[in-house]
Chains A and B, each alone.
Chain A
């Protein structure tokens, strides 16, 4: 295996379990000149708020920032579809020189008149930060004139990482929380946070809770509605999915409204069941919820087990490499892959923190490569070295996997099928099976050569 040069500064972001004492540097800014897979603050805010379907999302900046985020995620709505349009002030040179406030104000007014949204989010992009438009002031003024919340999202791309974008989105959302009526909210009620309803995942999760007898006040933000968010402070518990996106909001709600929160992952049988049991346990005063949860879990698992076992028999022993945005997702993926009998040989994330990587290390087998903020060269090197059969990643990773002639599964933006919950686990297993066992890889040059060597 030819070695690849690795930047000195990057050495600390790569770890081979078992080989060294553990210390992985993370949470760093990507180095200038690196082919990183990371994005910006705006990207973080946009993905979080995007699924609020009855709000207006106006991107204040040059055209690109809006064009690239036009309906790129399959966040489904059961009603309005306003979020699927792309609105931008499309700043031109003259706006950059003289400022874009007037243009922003006109755009907002025109849009609110035309669409009568329940609220408006205005995203500031890099250039707005540089030219110094007072977006907050414009928002305040338009909110006064139009009588709806107009919320600035301070998401100038250069002001940090995607994580900071999550935070900016939470801050904007927090301005809505607490504005609505909370009477007639069931005492056994929750908010679902950090769920974006990709492929209808929020619907699946919501249906579990409803079957358990737990009311869902707001799903934030998948299939989101402004009014539901406004009364979300009436819920008894916040259930926050994954580590990254919405913890900030949960913390703010805890502080101001005293709503406790728990973390959950709905990926894989183990984590989904744990999430549901945790919620049921929270409502211990209502023991029927636990009883219903137990039978729900039993029913759901037994419904999918036969097929999962078949798939397991086919993919067991195959090797997987994982490179995803958040580390929390990686934990669940490792468990789910293990359930299918697969070995995880590489795992990396774009935004993991110290504790995340410590957990990862504890979970992984010896020899597993752990990476922070990796680039394609590193990824491909280790994937080939480790003989992976499957690569799980996002949009930029798919063609890399295919070039190497191995299966791929999208666990990020591009997918259209739900991977959450029990149903989602079945979808995931099917996708892994379909990809890993596809006859197409027999045509892959490296595989073909390897097969020749083995067969007499």
Chain B
């Protein structure tokens, strides 16, 4: 009973977050920046935040995660971090030779009010940025937003700094994948390739944070979207953005800046959402749906038919990032399951909450939703009325264990399992994998709890 201090009686808390279901902006910005080829994420603040962000990403992706820091000391915290950032830019280009430095702020540098664009301009004027190299930035104070907004901010910065108009409209489609695993980004690329589309995916961490063992340590693995491709996003014929919170800002910015029309969809988790994704690609690019995808879709429907009898009415508790939470909820409802507790830590807004409510409208049970909640509350709800399954990141394992509930890991961070960065959960194939995981969790429990008489070979 690791969380034995959790009580079922819920008292209003006014000043306190217990067991947070979110983390801070810079880590999202850092993750997004790693999806640019040859990019050094740079944390403008003191060393601790950055060390934590790197460790957390390393634990989740099991890959070397690079980033640099302005290494604030007391002096910088009082007099401003300009000198640190100038020196940092100089050092980074000299020593680590990246194509891009992607600067994000921390709570500290935000509060003392460092003006990053002004400092970067100064660095350029002083010749600290070599020709053909770039410094971009996003503001990521964590006392507003969460890791999701940090991701969104840095993704938008890619548009703000690089997207160009002027060239002829190309057939290319921009694809903004959302705060998902590298494996998900790779799967999206595979699906678009199956349809014969030329896409620019940004950010793209596949191959960077799920790369092969090469025998060498490389600071800049071959993956990631190039600056040149980011420039061309302004001339694409359209943008598909997946996940409103993580990708919406960049998509809208591209529309405003370069008049590239965008479609903002939910993450393609589950059958219907993947259908919408494929259909949008098909309409936007004017290409037919690939036979291979139609085939996979058929397989997924087949699997659902084989499995549906086990899903009916199962009560599920979900905690996660807003985009994932919404997509998963819609998927579960479509399987006749009952997502009854929905918690996201990220402040996601009233509109979002409304959509989440709409997703569970038909669920014939009482559904509790908290946007801007924490895991403690989630646990308390479960204590009041149990569920059959919980889905969430690795921290949910405490609750799953204490309450003895089947558990499927999904989201960020996953610290105690390997594979999530290599196998997708988006698209039809990802959906099949997700279905398998959910059913395994439910039936493993059934096996475990069965009496000798009830223990069945064929289930």
Contacts and interface: CB of A to CB of B under 8 A. Distances in A.
Contacts of A404: 215-217
A403 interface: yes
Interface in B200-243: 213-219
Interface residues of A, number: 83
Given A67-B24, A129-B77, A89 B213 contact: no
A323 B84 CA distance: 27
B66 interface: yes
Nearest to B12: A110
B350 interface: no
A33 B24 CA distance: 21
A32 B219 CA distance: 18
Nearest to A350: B51
A376 B64 contact: yes
Given A40-B49, A376-B66, A399-B58, A88 B108 contact: no
Contacts of A157: 46-49, 108
B213 A86 contact: no
A447 B216 CA distance: 11
Contacts of A72: 55
Contacts, number: 259
Q: For this complex, into which size category does the number of interface residues on chain B fall?
A: 35 or more
Given A33-B91, A96-B143, A157-B46, A64 B26 contact: yes
A82 B4 CA distance: 9
Given A35-B67, A42-B48, A87-B18, A400 B217 contact: yes
B144 interface: yes
Interface stretch (B68-76, B263-271, B280-288): B68-76
A64 B217 contact: no
A35 B15 CA distance: 36
A157 B112 CA distance: 15
B158 interface: no
Contacts of B52: 39, 43, 64-65, 68-69
A414 B56 CA distance: 12
Interface in B7-64: 7, 11, 13-20, 22-27, 40, 42, 45-49, 51-56, 58-59, 61-64
A131 interface: yes
B354 to A, nearest CB: 22
Contacts of B371: none
Contacts of B17: 63, 66, 87-90
A38 interface: yes
B47 A396 contact: no
Contact of B144 (A7, A32, A93): A93
B13 A446 contact: no
Contacts of A85: 3, 5, 18-19, 376
Interface string A119-152: 0000000110111000000000000000000000
Interface of B: 1-5, 7, 11, 13-20, 22-27, 40, 42, 45-49, 51-56, 58-59, 61-74, 76-77, 83-85, 87-92, 94-97, 106-108, 111-112, 141-144, 146, 213-219, 345, 376, 395
Interface of A: 5-7, 29-43, 61-70, 72, 81-82, 84-93, 95-96, 102-107, 110-111, 114-115, 126-127, 129-131, 157-161, 376-377, 380, 384, 395-396, 398-400, 402-405, 414, 443-447, 449
